[in-house]
Structure 1
């Protein structure tokens, strides 16, 4: 596994920051929801890059978060356009893109609006829009952050189907929250990214995505029920669907089969 000493900081020509590690063909990795944008630091950085570390054995992985300082009213299309400009300025050819959770929303929008920027697309633990439970959790996160409360506990509702499991997870998230909070204490960027995703739904446009795509997730995901993964894969022409039995929103990307399945798809 890649160590923290291997993590390199960089900036694309348009100013969008990234973290990179590994070696091989470039792979753009787009993280899930974060309390702030940019490269993050400390424990928050570890949480952001951890899902992608296993991919560094075969690729030069560029972890690209949303840009710091998002304007009010920023849309998912705006975020994808910013990323497309960064990729076109850095690479001479389309590159592989993998998006996880919220990053999966950005990745789909990128392939939809800027198809020449993406060679192959992997959508992980994400679908054509947020599920009602996922949307409610994200809204609660934003509300708690704005109110000065520990917002990470908002995700307890989609971490377990049992009331006891949700209470236990809420306690764990309450303890972990300080390690994930913005270094400045300002959640504005995270809230604006949440607002952008809250308005995002491309179900009726999935057929426009012509990029070779794999949709991957766990069949126990409460943020995105398995049927949403199926509907996303069915809607994108020729898309491949991979469902890991017994895996949830966070654990699907931690499955030992994940880096192998991604490598096989990207090599196809």
Structure 2
């Protein structure tokens, strides 16, 4: 492990630690690259972690750098499981956001021994139709080297309404080179892995108590898909915020709700809350 710019690099995975207490592993959403974050990106990632770092040590852990073409969600989950085995040696709480939530579901299904409790934020067992369309558009634009088009497609997922989606798409176009910086093949490989991701038939294998958090106006998934994900997990719980979109669930209130779930005592015979 080495240190630099307040970020560690562990096993080719950029890592940021905030807070003190029991560990909580945080899997972030899509990032332009898997190198250590800096500047505004570092401030944003720190902010997400700080909301959860109340009596906990939050480990923000990104996907591995230098992904091989054809890397799958199962491969990404295996990377996380290896690091978690090495660092903690026991099950720990996991929070995954957006693409990180997809990987977190795969992690809990494939490596249940490393996950104590699971929170999946703005993610489901597969992408919804609009999410699929936007991510494929983003991938196509990246292959063609069109950064503005890629940024516009990525940001259009954020909007909770048709009008706001048009606005953020335009903003993404103008901010393209600034927003994406120097994207590398890791972003494209992750997009391709999530495009093929569908864990529906494996959700019954997830043994950890799981909370699926999302906005009813999430354009990437939609309320029905979020709720269905929790319904299929034996100990799944859904927390839906009626007026929130894909990125509208990152707030102090929602962080408090997540911490409450993670801190709650539940026995194996508790019924699922849906």
Q: TM-score, normalised by structure 1?
A: 0.90
Q: Distance in 2 between matches of 1:160 and 1:17?
A: 30
Question: Contact (CA 8 Å) 1:55, 1:61: kept in 2 or not?
Answer: yes
Q: Distance in 1 between matches of 2:43 and 2:145?
A: 23
The verdict on how the C-alpha distance between 1:100 and 1:21 changes in structure 2, with shifts beyond 3 A counting, is same
Structure 2: segments with no counterpart, 5+ residues: 265-274
2:6 match: 8
> More displaced, 198-207 or 152-161?
152-161
Question: Contact (CA 8 Å) 2:97, 2:123: kept in 1 or not?
Answer: yes
SS in 1 for 2:133: helix
Moved over 6 A (4+): none
1:95 match: 92
2:26 match: 29
Q: TM-score, normalised by structure 2?
A: 0.88
Residue 49 of structure 1: how far off its partner (Å): 4.1
Structure 1: segments with no counterpart, 5+ residues: 1-6
**Cα RMSD after superposing both structures:** 1.7
> More displaced, 192-201 or 41-50?
41-50
Residue 119 of structure 1: how far off its partner (Å): 0.6
The verdict on how the C-alpha distance between 1:156 and 1:19 changes in structure 2, with shifts beyond 3 A counting, is closer
Question: Contact (CA 8 Å) 1:102, 1:197: kept in 2 or not?
Answer: yes
1:211 match: 208
1:161 match: 161
Q: How does 1:101-112 map to 2 (within 5 A)?
A: 101-112=98-109
Q: Distance in 1 between matches of 2:45 and 2:132?
A: 20
1:4 match: none
1:123 match: 120
> More displaced, 171-180 or 62-71?
171-180
Residue 107 of structure 1: how far off its partner (Å): 0.4
Matched, 1:240 2:237: yes
